Amino acid sequence: MTPAIFTSERLLFTPVTPEAGAIGTIFAFPNTYSVGITSLGYQIIWASLASHRHLQVSRLFTDCHEPLPARPELLGYSISWELDYVNILKLLEFLAIPLRSEGRSDCHPLVFGGGTVLTANPEPLADFFDVILLGDGENLLDNFITAYLEVRGADRETQLRHLAQVPGIYVPSLYQVNYHDVTGAIAAIKPIDSNLPATVTKQTYRGNTLSASTVVTEKAAWENIYMVEVVRSCPEMCRFCLASYLTLPFRTPSVEASLIPAIDRGLKVTNRLGLLGASVTQHPEFEVLLDYLAQPKYDDVRLSIASVRTNTVTQKLAEILTKRDTHSITIAVESGSERMRQIVNKKLKNEEIIQAAINAKAGGLKSLKLYGMVGIPGEEISDLEETVKMMGDIKKTAPGLRLTLGCSTFVPKAHTPFQWYGVNPQAEKRLQYLQKQLRSQGIDFRPESYNWSVIQALISRGDRRLSHLLELTRHYGESLGSFRRAFKELRGNLPDLNFYVHTNWETDRILPWSHLQGPLSSATLIKHLGLETRS
């Protein structure tokens, strides 16, 4: 029996009726239903799978699931957050599937995965997956299903070797990683024989239509929201930013031909609309879209917009958002120090930030949330003082506007120019400094956990040796202390925490993801690094 939680769903696509003998497929999200169903990526891939007549698809979350096939052939995961790794393992155990690919036989399903985390650096989780899909799912998923159908009746090794020939499909077991020594850096990553591609390249969708919600439900974390992807990637290319570098090039669908029809389709079933993208307001036709949503017929629509480019926060935008039941807007400033913003390639002046606050207040918004970061390579205490001063200047210039500074610790991400930098061990003290200084001024300061940033960096920068650590840690509990305990227990079998998290790596070293080609080569990323960050 299907759980009641699924009955509240309003579908914006029509699942096909599977043909006789369809492939039993489970599509999982390693978190709760409310979190998973709010992921636009999960929605899109689920709808794509459910539109294949060759597949019989069941969804699986940590707290509920649809009726599952007795003998599934495929088990897929959509992964968008490093710290969900523990639930990947829990769901494998729930399904009585060996955790490691090497322990599976022909009677077990092929376990595949995709999403931002796996596309950036799948290596810490590689031993748990048979197949990893690198890149955009629009074309890659169909190619994967087609290739699987060609070898559906074959043994597991034949299936994996066949799939590995498809561009963007990575089969970790067919690639061998050698190390200089047990606790040292990587010496080489090579396919196990010459019939396999030496490099697996991320696949990029270049169509003119981006994603929109395929389901609306009151059980989502954002209740009854209909999401439309307005842009993909970001033209700013801040040197730390995975959302920009991993998803290049910057893509913008037509407002008239794509976005407006998608919005109208969603507003037939709900009045809550979310516009998504790393830099929504930099769509070249954003003003046209804004004017369309300002029409009186949409007066009952609740509009939410993802983080916007600071210098695009106009009074007009603020007024429309206010009329559409939005009381706050979010901008990413990274730092109040213009020197820091130059280092990360954030093309932004303090005057523009202050003007955004003025425009937000003039347009009727009640609050402004800024995103900042500590521990940026090259950061000094004087840069934090500049951030404190900037926040004070905003408060004086736009009195009555509630200010919040959300602040994270810099975490290096694969395929970005800052991938070679480690986490600054002074970052925790710098968060505490900002908290003391800003709260004394009555400014709401919301720091993200430094300890979780360390764990996030460990997984985002790790290699295959971490799989044993991840297995061990989840039994101790999810805390930095548990990771330290696991490192102590495995001492001598892998590098220490500092090696993965805090050390700056040489630009000529072999990285865990060196055999996986993102949008830009390492040579190009080094050029983007900028000489000023190497001092």
Three-state SS string over 33-44 comes to HHHHCCCHHHHH
- The Cα 291–Cα 258 span in angstroms is 16
Q: What is the β-pairing status of strands 200-201 and 74-78?
A: unpaired
pLDDT in tens, the chain (535 residues): 567 899 999 999 999 999 999 999 999 999 999 999 999 999 999 999 999 999 999 999 999 999 999 999 999 999 988 889 999 999 999 999 999 999 999 999 999 999 999 999 999 999 999 999 999 999 899 999 999 999 999 999 999 999 999 999 999 999 999 999 999 999 999 999 999 999 999 999 998 899 999 999 999 999 999 999 999 999 999 999 999 999 999 999 999 999 999 999 999 999 999 999 998 999 999 999 999 999 999 999 999 998 789 999 999 999 999 999 999 999 999 999 999 999 999 999 999 999 999 999 999 999 999 999 999 999 999 999 999 999 999 999 999 999 999 999 999 999 999 999 999 999 999 999 999 999 999 999 999 999 999 999 999 999 999 999 999 998 887 788 999 999 999 999 999 999 999 999 999 999 999 999 999 999 999 999 974 444 3
- The Cα 22–Cα 45 span in angstroms is 18
| Phi-psi category of residue 198: left, alpha or beta, with phi > 0 → left and psi -120 to 50 → alpha | alpha
Dihedral of CA atoms 4, 6, 7, 12 in degrees, nearest 10, equals: 180
Run of H or E including 230: none
- The Cα 222–Cα 234 span in angstroms is 24
- The Cα 284–Cα 287 span in angstroms is 8
Q: At what angle do helices 137-150 and 40-50 cross, to 10 degrees?
A: 40
Question: Is 188 in contact with 234 (CB distance < 8 Å)?
Answer: no
Burial 419-442 (b: 16+ CB within 10 A, else e): bbbbbbeebbebbebbbebbeeee
Q: What is the β-pairing status of strands 110-114 and 131-133?
A: parallel
Picking from 321, 380, 371, the residue whose alpha carbon sits closest to that of residue 348 is 371
pLDDT at 4 (0 to 100): 86
Give the ranges where 109-256 is alpha helix by DSSP (H). Answer: 116-120, 137-150, 156-163, 242-245
Domains of the chain, CATH where assigned: 4-187 (3.40.50), 224-464+505-534 (3.80.30.20)
Run of H or E including 128: none
Q: At what angle do helices 381-397 and 350-362 cross, to 10 degrees?
A: 30
Rounded CA Rg of the chain? 24
pLDDT at 2 (0 to 100): 64
Dihedral of CA atoms 412, 418, 423, 424 in degrees, nearest 10, equals: -160
Question: Is 411 in contact with 120 (CB distance < 8 Å)?
Answer: no
DSSP β-bridge partners for residue 132: 113, 170
Please tell me whether the overall predicted TM-score, pTM, comes out greater than 0.85 for this model: yes
- The Cα 302–Cα 299 span in angstroms is 8
Dihedral of CA atoms 456, 458, 464, 469 in degrees, nearest 10, equals: -90
Peptide bond into 495 cis (omega under 30): no
**3-state SS assignment for residue 276:** strand
pLDDT at 530 (0 to 100): 74
Cα–Cα distances (Å) from 533 to 184, 237, 266, 524, in that order, read 26, 15, 45, 16
| Phi-psi category of residue 442: left, alpha or beta, with phi > 0 → left and psi -120 to 50 → alpha | left
- The Cα 298–Cα 289 span in angstroms is 13
Exposed / middle / buried, residue 181 (Cβ in 10 Å: 0-12, 13-18, 19+):
exposed
Cα–Cα distances (Å) from 129 to 186, 197, 226, in that order, read 21, 19, 32
Run of H or E including 416: none
Three-state SS string over 13-76 comes to CCCCCCCCCCEEEEEECCCCHHHHCCCHHHHHHHHHHHCCCCEEEEEECCCCECCCCCCCCEEE
